[in-house]
Structure 1
Amino acid sequence: MSRVKASHCVIGEGKLFLFGGFDEDDKLDGYVYVLDTTSSRWDSRPGHVYREGHSAVYIGDGKVLIYGGCTSDVTERQEEFHGEEMLLYNTVTCTWEAVEQNGTPPKPRSRHAATLSTNGEFMFISGGLKPEKLEPYDDMFAFHIPTSTWGEPSQFIGRFDHSLVHQGDKLWAFGGFNKETARISELTWFDLKTYTTGTTLIHQAQKDDISHIFVQTGNPDFVLDVVVPSWSWERVNPWVGVYDLRNLRHKVVISPNLSYLLNHTWKISFFTNGRLYLVGYALTEETMDATYDYELSHILSINFSELCSKQHSGSWTSDFAKLLFDEKFSDYKIYGLSQNNRLARSDIPFEELESFKSEPIPVHKLILYSRWPHFEMIENSGMAESQVGSLFIPEPVKWVKAFIEYLYTNDVHDRSTDIVTGLLILSNVYRLPELREKALSWLNPIPMELGEVLMVLSRARIAQEEIIAHNAAMICLQNWGELVRTEEFAQLDKEDIISLCQLASPTSSIVDTPESAQKTRERSAELCNRGDHGTVNVDSFPVSFAYRNSVMLNDNWIESGSHYSTATSLESEER
């Protein structure tokens, strides 16, 4: 099953609706396909409705609104609802029906953008191509779903193949092409209150001439910016960013060349249940040489819930904070390691345990019991710690104090990289997902001080947070010449140095950029003037490494080797 110019949308929890487009025989397909991400299986439903270049918007109750598109190649086939611009598909009953339209409908179009308002009452459409012309409309329409009524058009932007998002009082247009078929990189907005438009440039966003897929997250403030190869012949280093529309910022959250994104063509990207899903097929000699797209047989999911969730602390945090580290009313003590370095458990002999303990930290059992499931388990089980009224956490005391402060305040702000990466480790040790999300959010983007980058890399590996570790490794490789001269690099264990070097692909080489080459010449001249003999030629490292670890699935059934991830750690499940 392959599709070109199809449309898709998320229908309910964990399901994707896919309809229309061209099949492998270059003919329009009348089937409807539903992907269940829970079972990783496609469900196909036959039909005689044909479209390409249309939009699909889920409006609730199992209903999908289809608008526009073309039906150019169905003259010899029996087609239902020929000439109807708007259709409704019921995913529960598997039936089609035409939608009565009141008001003045838009002129026929294809490859337009459509989105649902945040309150679910309106469908907005923008732009699109005029019939039989490579010329885009520059209008915007709002369709009131409860009354099936079109509002008056407003002038917006002339684009096609773009994306539309409703956020607050604005519609945001991402990507697409203008009438000169030039790719658009800036964001354009339409104010629904003042009926004014404007363009916003976000300097952090990368400007390039490659295809971006903009994915809505369910939180209107955040839009994912996905760059992956959409065609077998494209040579793209995949990466993922996120637009923060409330603060007008952009940041890269998955750096290029993450192994799980490589060696595939990803045709569909969507977001549901806090996860980004990519659907496509593996690149092999057969698929790379084909003149058409292959079956949508591979699926990858990455947890992005910590990036797109809204976290709020109640008033209780300020109340609990008053008791923090206060011996008054405290009824329990916690100890950490007296030293600042993390030790392996084998390095702490039981008979010498007391000598490793820090000064006691006064805490309150009620607060720990309500905030920390591990502590609740200790108390309920009657373990020795519950009898003696104290607990030893074999981690540096500065981490332990920060951990206790989090339990009292629900906050990790105003912390150092050392403390936050320590909290990340503790969040995984004690299975505290909210703390983990806060730590990951703090670490996006990663601090650029190379010593701190090495710290993030090392501790993300300990916490098994693969994406954060990958992003840190990319920064290391991009700054290799400077990195290897740092004190922190000299203190790395041999195993860590080998692991970092092995991230480079077998074809990687050490090269000089023009800037670093000049530094090399200056350094060489300095050595020669001092009578030394030698050259410094390690100044940069090309970012071209890749893991060779692909997923293999069968036909239309997504059955084995599917990769699923936590926010920064990808795991493999067998289906």
Structure 2
Amino acid sequence: MPFFPPENAKEGVPPTKRYGHTAVLWNQNIIIFGGSNEYYEYRDDVIVFSLQTKTWSRPEIRGEVPARYLHSATVYKNKMYVYGGFAKNSKCTYVLEEMRILNLDTWTWSEAYTVPARYNHSASLVGSKLWIYAGKDEAGNTVSDLHSIDLTTLRVLPHTGITGKVVLLKSQHFSEAIGNQLVVFGKYPNETTGTSLYGLWIMDLDQLEWRKLDVDRCLEDGAWNYFTIVTKKTQQRHRQLESSMSVDDPHLQSSSSMDIDEPGSSPSLIFLGNTEKDRPQPYDHFRDVLSINVEYLGVFQVPPPTLQWHMSLMLNNEEFADFTIVPQDSMRKIHVHRMVLSTRWPHFKNMHASGMIESTRGTMVLPEPYSVVFAFLSFLYTDTVDVDLDCSILCDVMVMANMYLLDRLKKLCASILHRHHLQVDTCVRIFQAACVSQEHGLKKLSQEYIFRNCGAVMKTEDWFLMWSQGGDGSSGEQRAALEDFIEGIPDDASLEVTPGSRRSSDGYGSGYDGANFEPTLRKDD
């Protein structure tokens, strides 16, 4: 991207002349990394310009990375992800097949993560995914492939089966994201005239289909050297930045506007270039600005759905509510709507249609605790389950779902319990709930977890309660869960003593030799 060092900086030393570097925005700071200077020397320095204090600084960086240029840099959650680039050593130049992460809280570089080799590519952040498009590979060939990196797992996923085609004249291009759509700008060859034209393409990242946007007429006059997308929020931030800069800034004065956009909340496509017919070398690459409302090209950014959120506001809201649910352990009433519950809960619909006393009184008592009942009703209103719910609440909701034949709710609870809550101190409780709710997959998974960690599990209170309450005089469900657990133990399983973490101070006699042991359940082959 073009970068104009503020000439009214108050303190600090600005970066040396360079190109092929990156400049990203983070917490009202511009972070510049890498690039090549006029002597073709590649840089690995990190330079920060504060937009608030107007000062340059060079933080103390921990760790080392190869100097590079024509790389990409993207900020996500206080980390800067630097992908690829062109590098050199004493013997040769080469393309980096690595991604490095700079922690912006500690200014520490991570180790290298292996990724497809690229330089002169583009990187666009959509949600928590980084989409890497085109550029040149390790052999210097221009490529047009697409792959993404999940920044939460750092998993690289190549994307094939893409329909449509983008034919770039050379690797240099720009890409930006509009919602879940990727927009690419660059030159492409005109086969009819043998010349080159500017083109703009868009891809829906769900459909993986390229579509060319009709902007040729707008771009036919002039040379366009930079492209980006500006949203309403970005425009507000830019106005704040401009107000903090000197009014006689030459870079602000030298831009003549060709704005064909109208005020609105939709994003605008911004092109920087020069529309003079005669452009003697060197010429001002960023003299003119072209702005196009993206909706004029048939591209619409649909806001995310809000139905679930609005439905959640209806739960326990007395306005327009016509029924109440009362948990047995609480005097607090939960205000609900007959129509919603009748539509989403067959048991309630049957109860209401039968003329039972609950339907005439307009209230219904449930034997479960308040927190469980509220989570159950939240699903009826929003069709979702909160993954942050306590494990015991999820277990009870899963049992309720089985009792009322709500299979989606039951499977959601089972999935969340397995992925987020299956631990030493919860596995026995999850196993018992899986037995009661007839979730056979979760029952098997939790039992295997107990087998693998039985030394630690046998010290938990839930393990003790399962065996003490599963004997004579216990409820049928408790006894059935214990019987299921015993039934699942292989006949040839045994407990063997293996190195563990118990110490001689744990109640062993003075003759204990100090070795660490822990019992685990194993099956002989």
TM-score by length of 1: 0.41
The higher radius of gyration belongs to 2
